[in-house]
Structure 1
Amino acid sequence: MTGTGARKTGGLFLSFEGIDGSGKSTQARALATALQQQGREVVLTREPGGSPGAEEIRALVLNGDPDRWSAETEILLFTAARRDHLERTILPALERGAVVICDRFADSTRMYQGLSRGDLREVVDRLHALMIGREPDITLLIDMDPEAGLSRALSRTGAEERFETFGLALQLAMRQGYLDLAETYADRFRIVDGAGDVGTVHARVQATLPELFEAPA
């Protein structure tokens, strides 16, 4: 396994992060489509999930009574899912030279379990260093107004949407937490304004990835 921040494989590992309702999942799909149209091999995946074992853990965590797990237990479950995802999906794709686009990665655990469910950020980072040891090459943070994001998130339906119920105060804290992460990991974070329609934001995503969308000479 590569060390944190190292890139020893031939592919490119991108992650999308953002508060609930930021549109990051939509933008991850749009980027995957744009790169596939260039003829690149793209693996679009998500967390928690992205491999058969990790998807089983996703269902275990996100369905049912949200209070049945302690924050510490959730961190262990998400780390186990991430390890399986890394082994089964991410690393094999990178070794083939593919572009891996992941909807959330470890930064989401740093925020949701490390910030929202107790001061457990150090625990998250220690487990990540011990069991994962890999960060994305580039993390695209879709930044938007927390109130607008919450309104959009609450308009969705589905049994898995549970963190939105924590309310606007959490959304505000999460946005600031993500901006703080972007400062801490400035070498890999790129902030994209999430205001506007899907096409407008997608154009901003492409503009922040000149190594993938350089204009012809």
Structure 2
Amino acid sequence: MASPSRSRPLLISFSGMDGSGKSTQIEALRSSLEQSGQRVFLRAFWDNVVAFPKWRAGFSHKFLKSDGKVGAPGKPANRNDKNNRSPYLLAGRSGLYLLDAVKLRRAIHRARSSQADVVIFDRYIYDQLATLPLERSWFRAYASLVLRMVPRPDVAFVLDAIPEAARERKPEYPLDFLYKYRESYLILQRMAGLTLIPALSQDHVGEEIANHVRKTVQGGGMADKSLTHAVS
């Protein structure tokens, strides 16, 4: 049962380009919280939020010839989806992301009404917007509109990564796209005031995340002592 001293669970999101280490850090934080007795709900953005996920995956496979596989060291994948920035695809995504934002609002309402102590989102609306060419003013204006539609998490992490290192861990997209992708995340970080975690070692990244969560818990007046202890 959620702690009575909190009106709602702590909401945390993890964003970042493929190969930035999100899955590792999410599992580490989740494990630490659960070992301390916290009830943690994990929500994967693609599985639990986005509109028409099967149709979107099928479109990428059939029309964009994306193999949809997950790349691994020594086993590269041939992805062609979010890296394709043709005008008609950008227009289509812009419409779909509005639907994603509406669905995300509902998902957050359900999460905040749950019995969880902590709700962790594996990706958020920021990851959708990062696929857009945010160096262009029109797309920044569009992103600002979408950001106003969606509640901001209590802690919204963006895990930075060097494009070459990210591609080595997950060889799925061309390197030139990863540089553009990273720049979009950095633009979003400034636009939305997200918490940027530098590209450090796995242990140091984990420490940075724990420190930020602890500061939020202690400074926000939303958590009991057990949750404060869980990230100490």
Superposition TM-score, scaled by structure 1 size: 0.72
Partner of 1:79: 98
Q: Which runs of 5+ in 2 are unaligned?
A: 1-6, 65-80, 218-226
Q: Deviation string for 1:103-154 (max 9, x for gaps)? A: 111211221135399953322432453xx33222211111121110122111
Would you say the 8 A contact 2:101–2:150 is kept in 1? Answer: no
How far, CA to CA, are the matches of 2:231 and 2:151 in structure 1? 33
Tell me what 2:182 maps to: 175
Q: CA deviation at 1:214?
A: 5.0
Unaligned segments of structure 1, at least 5 residues? 1-8, 155-163
| Distance in structure 2 (CA, Å) of the matches to 1:191 and 1:141 | 5
Match of 2:55 among 45, 52, 60: 60
Kindly indicate whether residue 139 of structure 2 is the aligned counterpart of residue 120 of structure 1.
yes
Deviation at 1:84, TM superposition (A): 2.5
Alignment of 1:105-144 (within 5 A): 105-115=124-134, 120-129=139-148, 132-144=149-161
Q: Give the root-mean-square deviation of aligned CA atoms.
A: 3.2
Larger Rg: 2
In 1, the alpha carbon distance for the partners of 2:133 and 2:169 equals 24
Distance (whole Å) between structure 2 residues aligned to residue 28 and residue 94 of structure 1: 19
Between 1:14-23 and 1:206-215, the stretch displaced more is 206-215
Compare relative contact order (CA 8 Å, sep 6+) and give the higher one, 1 or 2. Answer: 2
TM normalised by structure 2 equals: 0.68
Offset at 1:22?
0.2
Task: Return the alpha-carbon distance in structure 2 between the equivalents of residues 96 and 108 of structure 1.
Answer: 24
Q: Quote the residue 1:96 is aligned against.
A: 114
Contact preservation (8 Å) 1:110, 1:125: no
Question: For structure 1, which segment, 105-114 or 76-85, has the greater mean C-alpha deviation from structure 2 after superposition?
Answer: 76-85
Question: What is the distance in 1 between the residues matched to 2:57 and 2:124?
Answer: 16
Q: Alignment partner of 2:32: what SS? A: helix
* Contact 1:75/1:124, CA 8 A, preserved across alignment: no
Equivalent residue number for residue 166 of structure 2: 149
Does the CA-based 8 Å contact 1:21-1:152 persist in structure 2? yes
Q: Tell me if the contact between 2:100 and 2:125 (Cα under 8 Å) persists in the aligned partners.
A: no
Separation of aligned partners in 2, 1:208 and 1:172: 26
What is the aligned partner in structure 1 of residue 21 from structure 2? 23
Counterpart residue type for residue 24 of structure 2: T
Give the drift of 1:12.
1.8
Contact kept? 1:58, 1:81, Cα under 8 Å: no
